[in-house]
Amino acid sequence: TKVFVYNVDGLLIDCGPQSRAEQFRPWFREQNIKQVALTHNHEDHSGNARWIQDELKVPIYLHELAIPYALEEGAYPIYRHDMWGNRHPFDPQPMPETIATEKYKFQTLDTPGHAIYHTCFYEPNQGWLFTGDLYLGTRLLVCFFEENIRQTIDTIGELLKLDFDTIFCAHAGVIENGKVRLQKKYDHLRELQEQVASMRAAGKTDREIDDELNGFGLDITPLSGGEW
């Protein structure tokens, strides 16, 4: 699984998993990082935060309500430790409404859905939207057990009101024509929502609906014990 982090004029957006420390940490040292903003607290996005705090001694920002979880050792199933490593405690600062660098000014947007405390970063003058795990792709094949898809739909609907062109995704990379692509995801989720409502009204169970809509298995489902 690919993981992307972004250094924008000294602002590091997400810091990747601890399991990729060998690749990330030499790069971090070269980047003249002055501040860090985390989209959310999942270990593939925050796994190197403790190291950055200890070694680079720069401020790390996180959604204010996620801070209590960051102060504790990451607690999650063994398969995620195998994939992403350990997420050690770190001490972030509450996310400000805006984050400025020498060249850019980012609006921080509360964007729940994938996680209850999730932040996107918007630079209106550049048409940039850093989406963490909100985009990922135009179609939803599998989702995390914590995800609230209704919230995701509402959140994407709000983001589509903004003027942006390029999405910077934590797993899909840099997406040109980003607003068009995000609109496709929104349309797909709305269509899925309508299908599910219709099938429920016809008396089908959630398992029956899932089997009919998907009709395939993914390795991550048994591997994760059903989390995905």
Residue-wise pLDDT for 152-182, tens only, equals 999 999 999 999 999 999 999 999 999 999 9
User: For position 67, what pLDDT does the model report?
Assistant: 98
218 vs 198, which has greater pLDDT? 198
pLDDT bracket for residue 214 (50, 70, 90): confident
pTM of the predicted structure, to 2 decimals: 0.95
- 213-217: average pLDDT: 74
184: left (phi over 0), alpha (psi -120 to 50) or beta: alpha
User: For position 215, what pLDDT does the model report?
Assistant: 67
Name the residue with tokens 């692509």. 181
User: For position 133, what pLDDT does the model report?
Assistant: 97
Distance of CA 33 to the CA centre of its chain: 21
Burial readout 90-120 (b: 16 or more C-beta within 10 A, e: otherwise): bebeebeeebeeeebebebbebbbbbebbbb
Q: How many Cα atoms occupy the beta-carbon half-sphere of 142 within 13 Å? A: 13
Largest CA distance in the chain: 59
pLDDT bracket for residue 56 (50, 70, 90): very high
* Portion of the chain with pLDDT greater than 90, in percent: 88
46 vs 212, which has greater pLDDT? 46
DSSP string across 154-194: HHHHHHTTS---EEEETTTEEESSHHHHHHHHHHHHHHHHH
Structure tokens at 97: 């409404």
Judged on CB neighbours under 10 Å (0-12, 13-18, 19+), 125 is: exposed
Closest CA to 38 of 13, 57, 16: 13
Q: Is the pLDDT of residue 140 over 70?
A: yes
Segment 81-118, tens digit of pLDDT: 999 999 999 999 999 999 999 999 999 999 999 999 99
Cα separation, 220 vs 213, whole angstroms: 18
- Chain mean pLDDT for the chain: 95
Q: Is the pLDDT of residue 19 over 80?
A: yes
Cα separation, 105 vs 224, whole angstroms: 39
* Portion of the chain with pLDDT greater than 70, in percent: 99
Q: Is the pLDDT of residue 220 over 90?
A: no
